[in-house]
C-alpha cells in the first residue's frame, strides 16, 4: 500500500485512535480514589524519595537537584512506559486482529500516544517543582513541546519495532527489560554527566538519544539556553532513524502477524 | 468485472502448521540448525474462485475445519492470500465473532463507541446512531455496567446491534446467532432480511442447512480447502446433504 493510501486509512480510523487512548487513560485510574491526580502525584513522590536518597546518601554536586532529577526521570519514564506497553500492543490485541480488519499499527500508536498524555500530566508535576524551587519561566520554554515531539517520534519508532518483533519472538519482552535497566544507568538521570569517564561521556552524548532529549530539556529549563544546532540535529536524526526502522520492519512483517498471534 | 462486489480469484491461503509455534529465539536457532524451520505447510484454502454480485446472499457450508471461516477472513481482509487475488468494493461489517472488539472492563456505552470506531466509523456517526443501537439490543437498563458483567447473550445482542447498525455493503455472519434467545434470534434474522432487501450483500456461515436455504440465494460448499460446488443455494445444499449421508 502506498503512502497516500495509508494516510487515508489513518484518517478513517482517527476516531479509533482517540477511543483507544481514552480507554487506556480511563482504565488506568478507574476505581482509584484520586484518579488523574496520581499522574501528577506519582512523579512528585518518586522525585521526593530520590531527592532524599541522593542528597543524603550519595551526594552529587548538582545545582537545583530536584528539577534536574525530575526532568530526567519524567523523560526516561515516558520512554520506558510507552515502549514497554507498545511491546504488547499487537499480541494483546491478537483476538481482535483475528476477527476484524483494522490497521495494526493503530494499537501501537495508541499506546505511545496514551503514554504521551501521561507525560503531559507529569509536566504539571515538573512545573510545580520548578515553581517551588524558584526557577523563573522563560520564553525559551515554548520550545519544550518540540523536544517532546522528537521524543514521541523516537518512542513511536522504537515501539513499532519492538511490537512487531515481539509477535515473532516473545523473548523480546524479557530482553528489553534488561536493556531498559542498562539504558537507565547509561543515562545521566540521577547523576551528573561528569562522573562518567571521558570515553563513556563521549559515547553517551553521541549515541544515547534519550540523553540528547533530556539534555535539551535541562539546558532550556535550568540554564535558559538552547543546545548547539548540531546536538539538536542529532536528536532529530535519531528520532527519524527510529521511526524509519520501526515503520519498515512493522509494515514489512504485518501480514504475517496473524499466523503468529 | 466491475459489477462484482466481491471477487476472489485463485486464492490460496497457506498456514505454517509447524507442530508448535516457534516464538522464541533459542528455538528459532535450534530449528534453523536442524533445518526444520521451513516448515510444514498447510493449505487452508486451495484455488478458490468466487464472484459475488451486489445484493446476493451466499451461504458457506462445509464440515468443521474445512476452511469456511478462513474464507470469510480472507474476504474481510484479515488474512492475505498466499497466492491469487481478493477484490472487495464496499464496506464490510464482519460478524466473525460477536464482541471481539469489546473491552470487558469498559461499560456498554463506552464499548459501543470503541466497537463502532473499530469498524471504521467516526465518533459523530456513532453518536447519531447510539439510541438506535441500544434500542435494538434492548439494553437500556445496563448501559453503564462494565461488559464483564454481561452474559454472552447480552454481549451478542450488543455486538450484532452495533455491527448491523452501520448499513454495510457486505455483511459477513459466522455462526453467531446461536447464543441469543429465540426472540432475539428472530429479530436478527428479520434485520438481516431487511438489509438484504435494502441491497446489502450477505455472506453467511451456518451448520443449519434450513437457515441457509431460507436466507441465501447462492451457496458454496467447501471441503478441506477446496470448493466442491457452488451455485444456487438449493442445489448446493442438497448435494452437500447427500454427500454427508
B52-109: pLDDT as tens digits? 988 888 999 988 888 888 898 888 888 888 888 898 888 888 777 766 678 888 899 9
* Residues of chain B neighbouring A30 (CB-CB closer than 8 A): 105
In this predicted structure, the answer to whether residue B1 has a pLDDT above a threshold of 50 is no
> Strands B83-88, B226-232: parallel, antiparallel or unpaired by DSSP?
unpaired
Task: Check residue B172 and give its pLDDT.
Answer: 86
| Of residues A107 and A9, more confidently modeled | A107
- What CA–CA distances, in Å, run from A86 to A137, A186, A252? 34, 22, 18
Nearest CA distance, B12 vs chain A (angstrom)? 15
Burial of A61 (0-12, 13-18, 19+ CB in 10 A): exposed
Number of structural domains (chain B) is: 1
CA–CA separation, A254 and B130 (whole Å):
33
Cβ under 8 Å to B: A residues 212-251: none
In degrees, rounded to 5, the angle at the alpha carbon of residue B17 between the alpha carbons of residues B11 and B21 is 125
Task: Check residue A76 and give its pLDDT.
Answer: 96
Of B48, B60, B17, residue with least CA distance to B172 = B60
Q: What is the rounded average pLDDT for all residues in chain A?
A: 90
Of A16, A96, A170, the CB nearest to B24: A170
In tens, the pLDDT along B221-241 reads: 998 888 888 889 888 998 998
- Answer yes or no: is B133 within a domain: yes
Task: Check residue B83 and give its pLDDT.
Answer: 87
Its pTM stands at 0.87
* Residues of chain B neighbouring A18 (CB-CB closer than 8 A): 117, 123
pLDDT category at B151 given cuts 50, 70, 90 is confident
Using the Cβ of A2 and the Cβ atoms of chain B, whether some distance falls under 8 Å is answered with no
CA–CA separation, A86 and A92 (whole Å):
10
Contact A100 B96 (CB under 8 A): yes
What angle do helix axes A209-223 and A144-168 make, rounded to 10 degrees?
160
Mean pLDDT within A93-109:
88
- What CA–CA distances, in Å, run from A190 to A58, A75, A148, A206? 10, 12, 20, 19
Using the Cβ of A102 and the Cβ atoms of chain B, whether some distance falls under 8 Å is answered with yes
Residue with cell 562518567: A196
- What CA–CA distances, in Å, run from A182 to A80, A86, A106, A208? 12, 19, 29, 12
Using the Cβ of A19 and the Cβ atoms of chain B, whether some distance falls under 8 Å is answered with yes
Contact B118 A168 (CB under 8 A): no
- Answer yes or no: is B83 within a domain: yes
Q: If DSSP codes are grouped into helix, strand and coil, which group holds residue B139?
A: coil
Q: Which three cell numbers stand for residue A249?
A: 520492519
Residues constituting chain B: 245
Mean pLDDT within B194-219:
86
% of chain A exceeding 90 in pLDDT: 63
Nearest CA distance, A106 vs chain B (angstrom)? 10
Q: Would you list the domain boundaries of chain A? A: 3-260
Tell me the H-state helices in B19-122.
25-34, 68-75, 108-118
Lowest mean pLDDT among A11-15, A208-212, B34-38: B34-38
Taking one residue from A and the other from B, the number of pairs with CB-CB distance under 8 angstroms is: 73
Q: If DSSP codes are grouped into helix, strand and coil, which group holds residue B53?
A: strand
Domain CATH for B220: 3.40.50.300
| Of residues B24 and A47, more confidently modeled | A47
* Residues of chain B neighbouring A27 (CB-CB closer than 8 A): 103, 105-106
The four Cα atoms A181, A185, A189, A195 give a dihedral, to 10 degrees, of: 180
| Residues sharing a CB contact under 8 Å with residue B97, sequence separation 6 or more, in sequence order | A99, B174, B176
Closest chain B residue to A99 measured between Cα atoms? B96
In tens, the pLDDT along A16-26 reads: 999 999 988 88
By 3-state DSSP, what share of chain A in percent is helix, strand and coil, each rounded to 5?
80, 0, 20
Lowest mean pLDDT among A55-64, B170-179, B180-189: B170-179
**Domain coverage including residue B56:** 4-9+52-244
Bridge partner residues of B232 (DSSP): B218
Residue B47, φ and ψ in degrees, nearest 5: 50, 50
CB A128 within 8 A of CB A40: yes
In tens, the pLDDT along B136-146 reads: 888 888 899 88
- Answer yes or no: is B20 within a domain: no
State CA B214 to chain mean position distance.
19
Task: Check residue B18 and give its pLDDT.
Answer: 57
Of B25, B101, B106, the CB nearest to A169: B25
The DSSP secondary-structure symbol of B238 reads: H
Please give the ipTM for the structure prediction. Answer: 0.81
Using the Cβ of A166 and the Cβ atoms of chain B, whether some distance falls under 8 Å is answered with no
Give the number of C-alpha atoms closer than 13 A to the C-alpha of residue B168, restricted to the C-beta side: 28
- Answer yes or no: is B29 within a domain: no
**Helix (H), strand (E) counts: chain A:** 13, 0
> Strands B226-232, B218-223: parallel, antiparallel or unpaired by DSSP?
antiparallel
CA–CA separation, B161 and B143 (whole Å):
14
In tens, the pLDDT along A176-187 reads: 999 999 999 999
Task: Check residue A1 and give its pLDDT.
Answer: 52
Which residues of B lie inside 8 Å of A (Cβ-Cβ)?
15-16, 21, 23-26, 28, 73, 76-80, 92, 94, 96-97, 100-101, 103, 105-106, 110, 113-114, 117-123
Q: How many CB atoms lie within 10 A of CB A64?
A: 15
Nearest CA distance, A203 vs chain B (angstrom)? 29
Closest chain A residue to B116 measured between Cα atoms? A16
CA–CA separation, B162 and B153 (whole Å):
14
Q: Which three cell numbers stand for residue B205?
A: 456461515
Nearest CA distance, B123 vs chain A (angstrom)? 6
Residue B207, φ and ψ in degrees, nearest 5: -95, -5
| Of residues B1 and A233, more confidently modeled | A233
- What CA–CA distances, in Å, run from A250 to A61, A238, A257, B48, B218? 44, 18, 10, 29, 39
CA–CA separation, A47 and A87 (whole Å):
27
* Residues of chain B neighbouring A23 (CB-CB closer than 8 A): 103, 106, 110, 114
Bridge partner residues of B171 (DSSP): B93, B202
Contact A98 B78 (CB under 8 A): yes
- Answer yes or no: is B94 within a domain: yes
CA–CA separation, B181 and B151 (whole Å):
12
DSSP character string of A104-149: THHHHHHHHHHHHHHHHHHHHHHHHHHHHTTPPP-GGGGGHHHHHH
- What CA–CA distances, in Å, run from A178 to A173, A185, A206? 9, 11, 22
| Residues sharing a CB contact under 8 Å with residue B42, sequence separation 6 or more, in sequence order | B14, B15, B16, B17
* Residues of chain B neighbouring A258 (CB-CB closer than 8 A): 78-79
Amino acid at each position: 500500500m502506498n503512502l497516500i493510501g495509508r494516510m487515508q486509512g489513518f484518517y478513517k480510523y482517527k476516531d479509533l485512535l482517540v477511543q483507544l487512548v481514552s480507554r487506556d487513560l480511563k482504565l488506568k485510574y478507574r476505581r482509584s480514589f484520586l484518579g488523574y491526580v496520581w499522574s501528577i502525584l506519582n512523579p512528585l513522590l518518586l522525585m521526593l524519595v530520590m531527592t532524599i536518597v541522593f542528597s543524603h546518601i550519595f551526594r552529587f554536586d548538582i545545582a537545583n537537584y530536584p528539577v534536574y532529577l525530575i526532568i530526567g526521570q519524567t523523560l526516561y519514564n515516558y520512554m520506558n512506559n510507552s515502549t514497554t506497553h507498545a511491546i504488547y500492543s499487537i499480541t494483546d490485541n491478537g483476538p481482535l486482529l483475528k476477527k476484524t480488519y483494522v490497521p495494526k499499527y493503530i494499537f501501537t500508536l495508541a499506546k505511545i500516544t496514551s503514554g504521551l498524555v501521561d507525560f503531559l500530566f507529569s509536566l504539571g508535576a515538573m512545573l510545580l517543582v520548578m515553581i517551588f524551587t524558584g526557577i523563573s519561566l522563560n520564553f525559551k520554554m515554548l520550545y519544550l513541546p518540540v523536544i517532546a515531539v522528537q521524543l514521541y517520534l523516537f518512542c513511536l519508532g522504537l515501539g513499532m519495532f519492538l511490537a512487531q518483533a515481539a509477535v515473532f519472538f516473545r523473548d523480546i519482552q524479557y530482553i528489553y527489560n534488561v536493556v531498559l535497566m542498562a539504558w537507565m544507568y547509561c543515562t545521566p538521570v540521577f547523576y551528573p554527566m561528569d562522573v562518567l569517564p571521558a570515553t563513556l561521556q563521549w559515547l553517551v552524548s553521541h549515541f544515547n538519544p534519550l540523553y540528547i532529549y533530556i539534555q535539551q530539556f535541562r539546558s532550556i529549563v535550568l540554564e535558559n539556553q538552547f543546545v548547539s544546532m548540531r546536538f539538536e540535529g542529532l536528536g532529530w536524526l535519531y528520532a527519524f532513524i527510529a521511526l524509519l526502522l520501526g515503520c519498515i520492519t512493522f509494515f514489512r512483517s504485518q501480514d504475517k502477524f496473524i499466523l503468529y498471534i | 468485472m466491475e459489477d462484482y462486489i466481491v471477487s476472489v480469484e485463485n486464492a490460496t491461503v497457506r498456514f505454517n502448521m509447524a507442530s508448535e509455534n516457534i516464538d522464541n529465539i533459542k528455538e528459532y536457532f535450534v530449528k534453523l540448525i536442524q533445518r526444520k524451520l521451513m516448515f510444514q505447510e498447510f493449505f487452508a484454502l486451495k484455488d478458490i474462485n468466487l464472484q459475488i454480485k451486489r445484493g446476493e446472499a451466499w451461504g458457506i457450508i462445509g464440515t468443521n475445519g474445512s476452511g469456511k471461516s478462513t474464507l470469510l477472513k480472507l474476504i474481510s481482509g484479515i488474512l492475505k492470500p498466499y497466492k491469487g487475488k481478493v477484490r472487495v468494493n464496499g464496506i464490510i461489517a464482519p460478524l466473525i465473532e460477536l464482541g471481539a472488539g469489546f473491552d470487558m472492563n469498559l461499560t456498554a456505552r463506552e464499548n459501543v463507541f470503541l466497537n463502532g470506531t473499530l469498524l471504521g466509523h467516526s465518533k459523530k456517526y456513532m453518536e447519531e446512531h447510539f439510541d438506535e443501537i441500544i434500542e435494538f439490543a434492548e439494553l437500556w437498563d445496563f448501559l453503564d455496567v462494565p461488559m464483564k458483567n454481561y452474559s454472552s447473550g447480552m454481549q451478542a445482542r450488543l455486538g450484532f446491534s452495533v455491527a448491523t447498525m452501520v448499513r454495510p455493503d457486505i455483511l459477513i455472519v459466522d455462526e453467531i446467532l446461536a447464543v441469543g434467545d429465540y426472540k432475539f434470534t428472530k429479530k436478527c434474522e428479520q434485520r438481516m432480511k431487511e438489509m438484504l432487501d435494502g441491497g446489502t450483500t450477505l455472506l453467511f456461515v451456518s451448520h443449519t442447512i434450513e437457515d441457509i436455504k431460507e436466507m441465501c440465494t447462492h451457496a458454496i460448499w467447501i471441503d478441506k480447502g477446496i470448493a466442491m460446488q457452488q451455485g444456487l443455494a438449493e442445489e448446493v445444499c442438497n448435494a452437500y446433504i447427500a454427500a454427508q449421508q
